[in-house]
């Protein structure tokens, strides 16, 4: 045996010492990930070290912060003198528009006016302290700013009985009954959480009984999806059917909530033949399902079933959130391969370029991924509650602290409604798919930069030659509208962009007739010049009401003609009817 052969054989064999080391590392990471809930302490430590070290090396920044602290004390002192002389004195600092913690009139009485004004000045100072430190990486700066804001939200005077005049007033008026009711609310929530029950009131919104009521049939099922075809509500329909691809991190019925705000029902009533994908809630047996499995078993298999039921008709495809990203990948691969079965593409709060994906990206780094993967390794999936907790942190002021004050200190149960009940109906994410999504899309931005591969070859968004309708929402913490808008940089097709009031969910579920809703809309013709998002927002005309109306007009413009509705399951039952909507996958917990 020559040296070359011996070296080759040695390389081919696994090094037992290295294997043992990798196993020990994996076990250690897994144990620590369970203890921290999948949050990497290394990520936080690196960010704080980067910020603190560079702040220590920046005498100019420190001097500016000292000056700002002194000025804040002077502002508060002047305010105290003015407030002592007049009850109508103007605040020295105003809360942000979305901050409603100090809106109650009791916060304008002494000493609570000084308390909350001092807190807001401190909040303003810490924001300045964590921004603009020379040499700090952008990711670390954002992470430290976010962590500082979370800490301040936790220490807000609104969160403590001794400094919250609204709670004190409630105690005086009720003789302390509000605290008793709050304690009961707390114990009820704790019991429900430990037993795995739904939140209080969510039992009034059962799927198939109270929500997801639009009549339809399951016409296809595989290991990952059920495809639902909805019964027609008009004697004639647009010839091209609509296929909706929701995100698999949410139950599909967000688009078929109560009858009055169901997007699916509304589309059917406008004369569309509607199909929607209902994703399976993955378990440990699905740990190795990857993003391409979701593309093939989800989008492509559903499209094939729609083609059987409505043959010789192109499809108007719509994707929501991650479903829109997946649909874009599928459409790019189809364009590359000459597959012309799509007529148009609609993307609802969906990102294609992830470079500016907002604060949710703070949870994505190599260190954080290592901890998340360790947390998922044993079960083979990410728990839905863990993912929901991350989204709550993005808006902790409203979703965590203000809720606790209201329910546990004021003793008032927030009224449950359909969207809130849906939000509590969480889903899991398979190990492999979640890692691929975060690493390749979020961190590496492979899709936008032409490195994403389907069947071994790259796909690019610029290959898509379809009319595109894109929706961004003004207060989106998950897919910020400026990030969604970047589709204009990646594709030269005819793009109609809508910016609507509301957030990631409530902005999309925005039915006609809902009060205080508005949207802006403008179209860039194929090959037209690029307009930056700020200029677009300044120029685009504004409309009162629901953007659904503009979308329906757009869908109708891209349809060919009116036709008789297709039979359920297709002519001659091309696809077997497997049961009534909403199907069985949506009921999985």
Whole-angstrom CA distances from 520 to 66, 266, 472, 544 are 43, 21, 10, 9
Q: What is the structure's pLDDT at 378?
A: 76
What token pair was written down for 398? 């409203």
Measured from the Cβ of residue 312, the count of other Cβ atoms closer than 10 Å reads 6
321 tagged catalytic:
yes
Q: What is the structure's pLDDT at 573?
A: 83
What gap in Å lies between CA 344 and CA 91, rounded to an integer? 52
Residue 565: strand, helix, or coil: coil
Helix (H) or strand (E) holding 277: strand 274-279
Query: What DSSP string runs through 344-388?
Result: EEEEES--S--TT--GGGGG-SHHHHHHHHHHHHTTTEE-HHHHH
- Count Cβ neighbours within 10 Å for each residue of 92-129 and write b for 16 or more, e otherwise: bbebeeebebbeeeebbeeebbbbbbbbbbbbeebeeb
Q: What is the structure's pLDDT at 30?
A: 59
What gap in Å lies between CA 339 and CA 464, rounded to an integer? 11
Peptide bond into 167 cis (omega under 30): no
Measured from the Cβ of residue 579, the count of other Cβ atoms closer than 10 Å reads 13
- 315 beta partners: 342
Helix (H) or strand (E) holding 524: strand 518-524
Which is nearest to 476 in space by CA: 367, 373, 572, 348?
348
Q: What is the structure's pLDDT at 389?
A: 59
Question: Residues 423, 180: contact at Cβ < 8 Å?
Answer: no
- 242 beta partners: 274, 316
What gap in Å lies between CA 190 and CA 408, rounded to an integer? 12
Which is nearest to 430 in space by CA: 224, 588, 278?
224
- Count Cβ neighbours within 10 Å for each residue of 241-275 and write b for 16 or more, e otherwise: bbbbbbbbbbbbbbbbbbeebbbbbbbbebbbbbb
Q: What is the structure's pLDDT at 11?
A: 46
- 278 beta partners: 226
Question: Residues 445, 354: contact at Cβ < 8 Å?
Answer: yes
What gap in Å lies between CA 197 and CA 192, rounded to an integer? 5
What token pair was written down for 231? 């019964």
Question: What order do you get walking across the sheet with 342-348 strand by strand?
Answer: 216-221, 225-230, 274-279, 242-245, 315-320, 342-348, 468-473, 495-500, 518-524, 542-544
Q: How many CA atoms lie within 13 A of 525 on its CB side?
A: 1
Q: Out of 321, 374, 410, 441, which one is annotated catalytic?
A: 321
Write down the pTM of the prediction: 0.88
SS3 content of the chain, % helix, strand, coil (to 5): 50, 10, 40
Residue for token digits 């459409």? Answer: 331
What gap in Å lies between CA 3 and CA 10, rounded to an integer? 10
What gap in Å lies between CA 512 and CA 507, rounded to an integer? 12
Query: What DSSP string runs through 186-239?
Result: HHHHHHHHHHTPPPTTGGGS-BTTTBS-S-EEEEEE-SSEEEEEEPP-SSSEES
Question: Residues 416, 200: contact at Cβ < 8 Å?
Answer: yes
Sequence-distant (6+) residues with CB within 8 A of 25 are none
Query: What DSSP string runs through 436-484?
Result: HIIIIIIIT-TTTTT--EETTEE--GGG--S-EEEEEETT-SSS-HHHH
Residue 528 has φ and ψ, to the nearest 5°, of: -70, 170
Q: What is the structure's pLDDT at 195?
A: 84
- Eight-state DSSP code of residue 240: S
What gap in Å lies between CA 483 and CA 349, rounded to an integer? 9
Measured from the Cβ of residue 77, the count of other Cβ atoms closer than 10 Å reads 12
Which is nearest to 252 in space by CA: 196, 325, 197, 323?
323
Which is nearest to 511 in space by CA: 213, 243, 276, 254?
254
Sequence-distant (6+) residues with CB within 8 A of 145 are 127, 130, 131
pLDDT by 10s per residue, the chain, length 589: 444 444 444 444 557 777 666 666 666 655 555 555 556 777 888 999 999 999 999 999 999 999 999 999 999 999 999 988 887 788 899 988 778 899 999 999 999 999 999 999 999 999 999 999 999 999 899 989 988 998 999 999 999 999 999 999 999 999 999 999 999 999 998 998 888 788 888 889 999 999 999 999 999 999 999 999 999 999 999 999 999 999 998 999 999 999 999 999 999 999 999 999 999 999 999 999 999 999 999 999 999 999 999 999 999 999 999 999 999 999 999 999 999 999 999 999 999 999 888 777 777 777 777 777 777 777 888 776 666 656 666 666 666 788 899 999 999 987 889 998 998 898 998 999 988 998 899 889 999 999 999 999 999 999 999 999 999 999 998 899 999 999 999 999 999 999 999 999 999 999 999 999 999 999 999 999 999 999 999 999 999 999 999 999 999 999 998 999 999 999 888 899 999 999 999 999 8
């Amino acid at each position: 045996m020559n040296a070359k052969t011996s070296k080759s054989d040695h390389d081919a064999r696994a090094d037992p010492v290295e294997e043992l080391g990798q196993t020990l590392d994996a076990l250690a990471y897994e144990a620590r990930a369970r203890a921290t809930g999948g949050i990497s302490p290394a990520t936080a430590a690196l960010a704080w070290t980067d910020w603190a070290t560079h702040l220590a090396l920046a005498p100019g920044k420190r001097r500016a912060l000292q000056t700002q602290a002194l000025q804040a004390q002077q502002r508060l002192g002047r305010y105290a003198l003015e407030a002592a002389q007049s009850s109508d004195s103007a605040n020295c600092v105003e809360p942000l528009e979305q901050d409603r913690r100090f809106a109650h009139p009791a916060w304008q009485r002494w000493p609570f006016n000084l308390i909350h004004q001092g807190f807001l000045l401190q909040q303003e100072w810490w924001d300045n302290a964590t921004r603009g430190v020379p040499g700090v990486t952008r990711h670390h700066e954002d992470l430290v700013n976010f962590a500082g804001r979370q800490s301040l939200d936790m220490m807000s005077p609104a969160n403590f009985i001794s400094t919250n005049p609204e709670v004190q007033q409630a105690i005086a008026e009720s003789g302390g009954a509000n605290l008793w009711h709050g304690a009961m609310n707390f114990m009820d929530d704790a019991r429900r959480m430990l037993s795995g029950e739904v939140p209080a009131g969510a039992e009034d919104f059962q799927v198939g009984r109270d929500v997801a009521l639009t009549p339809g049939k399951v016409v296809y099922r595989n290991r990952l999806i059920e495809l639902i075809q909805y019964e027609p509500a008009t004697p004639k329909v647009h010839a091209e059917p609509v296929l909706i691809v929701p995100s698999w991190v949410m139950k599909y019925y967000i688009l078929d909530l109560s009858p009055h705000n169901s997007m699916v029902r509304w589309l059917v009533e406008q004369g569309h033949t509607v199909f929607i994908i209902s994703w399976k809630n993955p378990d440990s047996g699905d740990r190795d399902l990857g993003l391409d499995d979701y593309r093939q078993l989800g989008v492509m298999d559903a499209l094939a079933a729609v083609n059987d039921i409505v043959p010789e008709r192109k499809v108007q495809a719509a994707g929501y959130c991650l479903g829109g990203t997946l649909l874009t990948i599928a459409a790019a691969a189809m364009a590359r391969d000459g597959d012309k079965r799509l007529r148009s593409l609609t993307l609802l709060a969906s990102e294609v370029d992830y470079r500016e994906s907002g604060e949710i990206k703070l949870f994505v780094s190599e260190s954080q991924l290592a901890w998340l993967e360790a947390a998922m390794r044993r079960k083979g999936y990410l728990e839905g509650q863990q993912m929901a907790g991350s989204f709550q942190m993005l808006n902790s002021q409203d979703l965590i602290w203000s809720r606790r004050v209201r329910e546990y200190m004021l003793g008032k149960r927030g009224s449950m409604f359909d969207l809130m009940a849906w939000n509590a109906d969480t889903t899991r994410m398979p190990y492999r798919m979640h890692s691929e999504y975060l690493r390749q899309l979020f961190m590496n931005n492979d899709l936008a930069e032409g490195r994403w591969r389907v069947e071994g070859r790259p796909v690019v968004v610029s290959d898509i030659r379809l009319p595109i309708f894109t929706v961004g929402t003004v207060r989106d913490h998950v897919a910020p509208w400026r990030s969604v808008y970047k589709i204009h940089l990646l594709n030269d097709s005819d793009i109609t962009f809508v910016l609507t009031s509301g957030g990631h969910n409530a902005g999309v579920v925005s039915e006609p007739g809902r009060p205080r809703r508005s949207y802006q809309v403008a179209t860039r013709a194929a090959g037209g010049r690029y307009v930056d998002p700020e200029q677009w927002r300044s120029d685009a005309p504004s409309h009162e009401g629901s953007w659904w109306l503009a979308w329906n007009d757009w869908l109708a413009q891209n349809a060919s003609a009116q036709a008789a509705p297709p039979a359920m399951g297709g002519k001659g039952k091309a696809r077997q009817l497997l049961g009534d909507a909403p199907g069985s996958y949506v009921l999985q917990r």
